[in-house]
Amino acid sequence: MSAELTIAIAQTNPTVGDIEGNLERIRSFRARAAAAGADLVVFSELVVVGYPPEDLVLKAALQEAVRRAVEALAADTGDGGPAVILGAPWLERGELYNAMLLLQGGRVVTARYKHDLPNYGVFDEKRVFAQGAVPGPIAFPFAGARGSEQIRIGGMVCEDMWTEDVAEALEESGAEILIVPNGSPFEHDKQDVRLNLAVARVTETGLPLIYCNQVGGQDELVFDGASFVLNANRRLAAQASAFEEQLLITRWRRDANGVWTCTEGEFAPPLTGLEAIYRAMCLGLRDYVEKNRFPSVVLGLSGGIDSALSAAVAVDALGPERVHAVMMPSRYTSTASAEDAQAVADALGIRLDAVPIEPAVEGFAGMLEPLFRGLAPDITEENIQARIRGVILMAISNKLGPMVLTTGNKSEMSVGYATLYGDMCGGYSVLKDVYKTMVFALARWRNQHRPADARGPAGRVIPERVLTKPPSAELRPDQTDQDSLPPYEQLDAILQGLIEDDLSARELVAQGHDPAVVRKVSNLLDLAEYKRRQAPPGVKITHKAFGRDRRYPITNAFRKVGLSTAPAAADHRPNAAGQEPGDRLAGKC
């Protein structure tokens, strides 16, 4: 009779630093796994402390608290229930490791340490962890169909799966199943990358593979879960839901040739495209607000597409009762914008207040008149309007408690089309890594679909006029974004080439882009770095989000775009007013 084994995959949402809360969640999932008859329950990378812990993990008090928590949890496994594989920071002989631990029979049976420490993009694990040796298999005894059975588990912690070395060593030393605890952040096309890498490891080793990924938001990062199982024939045998906690029960059988096969497991359809991006934005905002214990959010609702989509995401993430919108009209605000803001608020079912800014604008003009006498109005007066709106929103936050949600998108942040301490003022941004063209696509998608876990209404939530009218900051008469910027389709294509694809200006021109436009956009991208450093965190969507993914110096004399023999610095000198070209772009509210 063949051996049988039940493995539960626990796709959980831990909170960084909340060891007690994370342990309570682990115990709850283990109890559910026991009720399903599991022999083993697998948790994600560093689940005890949450991922990524960054420099928090270097605190001796946290390391001690983790060990106490793990040992207490290990004692629970003496109850005859399922064994546990989980991730934790583990101090051993003075070295701190990113560890995969087996808890069974009331004790910590064994530990395996992450070998391949990622040190790129959002990852800097070499900063905090020691490198583990290439791991060998873990012997796991269990009660199989023939009585006492044993399986040799090949543990690969996250990045260990991304190259062939660890998998090859495990296969050569007798592993029978590969288990991969993960903390793999969402990117819009990453699930296919993960699956392809897993298929490569299965192909190389001839072994089945269990991939357990974390779910939830942690600052800029969103973890999408979507844990899965591949059989040795490279076929997908089970798939967990994306963006949701789940206990995935899988049943296994070993045949006469010693090959383990997953014979039973749930299969959730994968999420891709706009739906995946929208769900990531909602989960990122929800967890940032709730894990940091904000009661609600407040945002400026201008009647434009960015604030409308931001409001829709906020309502879907938190519910309409926790979203407060404020319209802050000036003399330049059109009647259509006021009507559109009200229509968005009505469609979403949120509170909308109006706080006109004209009295403050006039007050500032009077205060500054002695200093500015004789100087023509310019970008200064436009930015004052944006900054007044920032002050209003922060005052509401201080007095009533909601976090200010900023509404700028990646196209604007790329070229500095934003005002420091104005529309950039706030605690979090759901559009920070979303280009303007994608903003329109997401808004249209949301009008046609209501996400499964949305707390907002079904149906159209963004009026058609908001989608079709020319975007405008409305900081001067008859202003549109295209007064200062190329058309967004052209701008976004150039920005994606410069940022995501690391293309040179010459390569972009070879693709057919206008050299003068490429030069302008490249210059603005460099100049706006000082603004981006002061921007709030926001949901990571692409593989080159501003911040931890793309790290450029603010002080930077090397800005050659490669399209002219003239000195590149000439394009970046301050003008007579002491302003850099990037400052000539007014921010939006």
CB contact at 8 A, 315 and 281: no
Q: CB count, 10 Å around CB of 56?
A: 14
Task: Spot the catalytic one: 4, 125, 158, 588.
Answer: 158
Pairing of strands 246-254, 3-11: antiparallel
What are the structure tokens assigned to 332, written together? Answer: 């330049």
Kindly state the helix (H) or strand (E) to which residue 346 belongs, with its residue range. helix 335-348
Q: SS3 string of 474-530? A: CCCCCCCHHHCCCCHHHHHHHHHHHHCCCCCHHHHHHCCCCHHHHHHHHHHHHHCHH
Non-local (6+) Cβ contacts of 257 within 8 A are: none
Distances (CA, A) of 62 to 27, 56, 102, 113, 378: 20, 8, 20, 19, 53
Distances (CA, A) of 70 to 63, 76, 87, 526: 11, 10, 10, 47
Query: Taking the chain, what is the end-to-end CA distance rounded to the nearest angstrom?
Result: 69
Q: Is the peptide bond before 52 cis (omega within 30 degrees of 0)?
A: yes
Q: SS3 string of 532-562? A: HCCCCCECCCCCCCECCCECCCCCCCCCCCC
Residue 45 is among the residues annotated as catalytic for this protein: yes
Residue 158 is among the residues annotated as catalytic for this protein: yes
Half-sphere exposure of 546 (CA within 13 A, CB side): 32
- For residue 214, the 8-state DSSP code is -
- C-alpha 484/C-alpha 486 separation (Å) is 7
Residue 232 C-alpha from the chain's centroid: 32
CB contact at 8 A, 305 and 471: yes
CB contact at 8 A, 104 and 83: yes
- C-alpha 6/C-alpha 34 separation (Å) is 10
Residue 114 is among the residues annotated as catalytic for this protein: yes
Task: Spot the catalytic one: 4, 20, 24, 45.
Answer: 45
The torsion of the CA quartet 491, 493, 494, 496, rounded to 10 degrees, works out to 120
User: Which residue carries 């960015």 as its tokens?
Assistant: 306
Task: Select from 468, 463, 428, 465 the least CA-distant residue to 446.
Answer: 463
Task: Select from 533, 560, 561, 527 the least CA-distant residue to 546.
Answer: 533
**Cα 216–222–225 angle (5° rounding)?**
60
Q: Can you list the pairs that 108-113 forms with residues at least 24 positions away whose Cβ atoms lie under 8 Å? A: 108/70, 108/71, 108/74, 109/83, 109/138, 110/138, 110/139, 112/136, 112/138, 112/155, 112/157, 113/157
Task: Spot the catalytic one: 114, 291, 410, 436.
Answer: 114
Catalytic center residues: 45, 114, 158
